[in-house]
Chain A
Amino acid sequence: MLTIATGNKAVAAAVRQANPAVIAAYPITPQTEIVEQMAEYVTAGELKSRYIPVESEHSAMAACIGASITGVRTFTATSSHGLLYMHEMINWAAGARLPIVMANVNRALGPGWNVWAEHTDAFQERDTGWLQVFVSTVQEAYDATLMAFRIAEHNDVLLPVMVNLDGFTLSHIMQSLETVNPGDFIPPLHLPHAIDPAHPAGYGTLTGPDDYFKFRWDIERSMRDSVKVIRETEQDFADRFGRSYGMTEEYRCEDADVVVIAMGTLGKEAEVAIDLLRKEGIRAGSMRIRWLRPFPTLDLAGRDVVVIDRDYSFGFGGILAQSLKAKHRCEPYSVIAGLGGQEVTYDDIAGFIRDRKPGEEYWFGVKA
């Protein structure tokens, strides 16, 4: 069905169709519309989920953990400070191998209070064992949320998945949305280690170094296996519903001498910049990284690389630029832009590419 919706409403529409048994959530701007919509679905009887209006994000994730370990589907949503407040439980969810799906509406961290888009919140959770996908359109927010449940619950993965969408520039803007009838696209959840009083066992028991080490390796092994599951899921989604994205969405990269790498809405905006530069005769392309974890492998050989980070690791650099530098031994032009919702237009992005200085870092809009 073709309709129009905000990014938040698109996520809610997908969650409704995934039909989780338990939703636990705490409101925070700009995520609120998601949890309000879920509450409306439940109140109207359109969704049979148990809705737990918890008193904090730490408890939201704890409640999802408690529900998920019984073997049922769970969902929560948060943003920014909420994400960081649940940090301990985010680690717990991954370590406990629970396929919880969470929408995170990317927002800057205080102080000062700032409700606008930035990716540092999600990037601070990058080492927790969660799969993380970043979306760029309302349609993609919906599609990625549906796929997230299937990927998380796949028995070769059994890790939680975070769907990231930019605060306001995606969460609150309206675009066309085509919803689908998912049918059996998301199979019923079978959690092999679900709690069962008929088979008593200890979960998360005190664990010595040797066993603990094996459990950590198991997480990494599943993280690696998840690449195949993501590809299969995307392929099946494309076969059924006609849309596909990939680990990284490439735009006009085939003959590109220079590629710009960004995430979320800036990654989509970059495509407009590429068209602009192509008209000027500059052979530029865009690679929009969708999956922060598992981190993709890109074809950067022989190309200039411009990386836009909407995040920062103080004393180190743009996290995406540094990650690419480490993985691909490239010398990117590292642009720090869009922090705290700073406006970055396609003209600005075209400028980053034209004026690139490989190996240097540039803070957009800051006078030297």
Chain B
Amino acid sequence: MTEIPKEEYVLKCTSACAGCSSSLILRYVLKAAGPDTVLVIPACCTSVIQGIYPNTAMNVPIYNVAFAAAAACASGMSEAFQSAGKKTNVIVYAGDGGTVDIGIQALSGAFERKTDFLYICYDNEAYGNTGMQRSGSTPIGARTTTTPGGKTHSKKDLDGIVAAHDPPYMATACSAYPQDLFKKVQKALSIRGPKFLHILAPCPPGWRYSSEKTIEMGKLAVKSGMWILYEREYGKVTINGPSKAAMIKPVPVEDYISVQGRFKGISKEALESLKSQAERNAKRLSLEEKGIC
């Protein structure tokens, strides 16, 4: 077991919802990053979770910035710290809306310019802060307040887009696997250049499940193959243990879907699409891991 520091940087006064996984994720991110860190946060749940002025629930500086601007703001910050000879970690902590939709241009620009920073997208698969509207990251079939009949389009392949920028390190993680998450943050911060973590963040009010089931929901996502834990280090793919096991003996996708209110009444076609997308992802990553494609 990795020794996880006892220091807390997410203090016990956040305004997160009960069972919120994104504050749990941030807790481990900051434990891995340590105190010489600045978080850059665009509009997202964490804008609220951190607390209300003049208080802050975070024991590192947070720079809040406009929705589309996180990666560009971090670019400037990273260059400024370097010009001053400082080694401060610059970490963007952004939701899926701020990443796959409105923030993708700035993200792409920062990765193309090989900015030295870590970009983390915590993905609860909708605009949670504003009450669960669909985002480009919402899976097909999921009901949100703007897709009351279930989303008719598939989840955007964010990782594929980021991979096209050939960053030195990118990985997926999930709040239900904190040891794995901690190690990935540490590894990312040991590498110079643009690093990317895409972290699944189950959301009780948004996904419509009972708040004590947040960890269970993350585990089911991985065990069903709906979320695959892997790393891409200098282009080389490694599928992590839990997902390796899931590829050999997955639990049915229905086990993951049926416990979430957002998928209630999902059409047969949407369910098939979810399943086939999960299968394609697994197949593609396995081939990449073997160096076949």
Q: Beta-carbon contacts of A59-98 to B below 8 Å, as 1s and 0s?
A: 1101111111111101000000000000011001000000
Nearest CB of A to B38, in Å: 6
Q: Which residues of B contact A211 (CB under 8 A)?
A: 53-54
Asked if B13 CB lies within 8 Å of chain A CBs, one says no
Asked if A293 CB lies within 8 Å of chain B CBs, one says no
Q: Are A59 and B69 CB-contacts (below 8 A) given A54-B109, A201-B56, A202-B56?
A: yes
Q: Which residues of A contact B55 (CB under 8 A)?
A: 202, 205
**Cα A337 to Cα B71 with chains together (Å):** 41
A65 lies within 8 A of B73 (CB): yes
B61 lies within 8 A of A203 (CB): yes
B72 lies within 8 A of A58 (CB): yes
A222-244 CB contacts (< 8 Å) to partner B? none
Considering only CB atoms and an 8 Å cut-off, how many residues of chain A contact the other chain? 43
B88 lies within 8 A of A197 (CB): yes
Q: Which residues of A contact B113 (CB under 8 A)?
A: 52-54
A205 lies within 8 A of B109 (CB): no
Q: Are A63 and B53 CB-contacts (below 8 A) given A195-B38, A200-B61?
A: no
Among A52, A199, A205, A208, the residue within 8 A (CB) of B76 is: A52
- How many Cβ-Cβ contacts under 8 Å join chain A to chain B? 164
Asked if B146 CB lies within 8 Å of chain A CBs, one says no
Q: Beta-carbon contacts of B12-51 to A below 8 Å, as 1s and 0s?
A: 0000000000000000000000011110100000011011
Asked if A56 CB lies within 8 Å of chain B CBs, one says yes
Asked if A204 CB lies within 8 Å of chain B CBs, one says yes
B62 lies within 8 A of A202 (CB): yes
**Cα A169 to Cα B35 with chains together (Å):** 52
B62 lies within 8 A of A92 (CB): no
Most buried by A among B36, B53, B72: B72
A69 lies within 8 A of B63 (CB): yes
A292-315 CB contacts (< 8 Å) to partner B? none
A72 lies within 8 A of B56 (CB): no
A65 lies within 8 A of B35 (CB): no
**Cα A146 to Cα B252 with chains together (Å):** 67
The interface stretch among B77-85, B164-172, B208-216, B258-266 is B77-85
A62 lies within 8 A of B76 (CB): yes
Which residue of chain B has its CB nearest to the CB of A205?
B53
**Cα A64 to Cα B113 with chains together (Å):** 16
Q: Which residues of B contact A2 (CB under 8 A)?
A: none
B69 lies within 8 A of A58 (CB): yes
Asked if B152 CB lies within 8 Å of chain A CBs, one says no
Other A-B contacts than A63-B75, A66-B40, A202-B55, 12 sampled, CB-CB below 8 A, are A59-B69, A59-B109, A62-B69, A65-B65, A71-B80, A72-B80, A92-B65, A200-B58, A201-B56, A202-B53, A203-B62, A205-B56
List, sorted by A's number, 30 A–B pairs whose CB atoms are closer than 8 Å.
A21-B80, A22-B76, A22-B80, A24-B75, A49-B83, A50-B80, A52-B75, A55-B105, A59-B69, A59-B71, A60-B72, A64-B76, A68-B76, A69-B77, A70-B86, A72-B83, A88-B68, A92-B66, A92-B69, A195-B77, A196-B61, A199-B61, A200-B35, A200-B62, A201-B62, A202-B62, A203-B62, A204-B63, A207-B53, A208-B53
Interface residues of A (CB under 8 A from B): 21-22, 24, 48-50, 52-56, 58-60, 62-72, 74, 88-89, 92, 195-197, 199-208, 211
5 smallest A-B Cβ distances: which pairs?
Answer: A66-B76, A55-B109, A63-B76, A59-B72, A202-B56
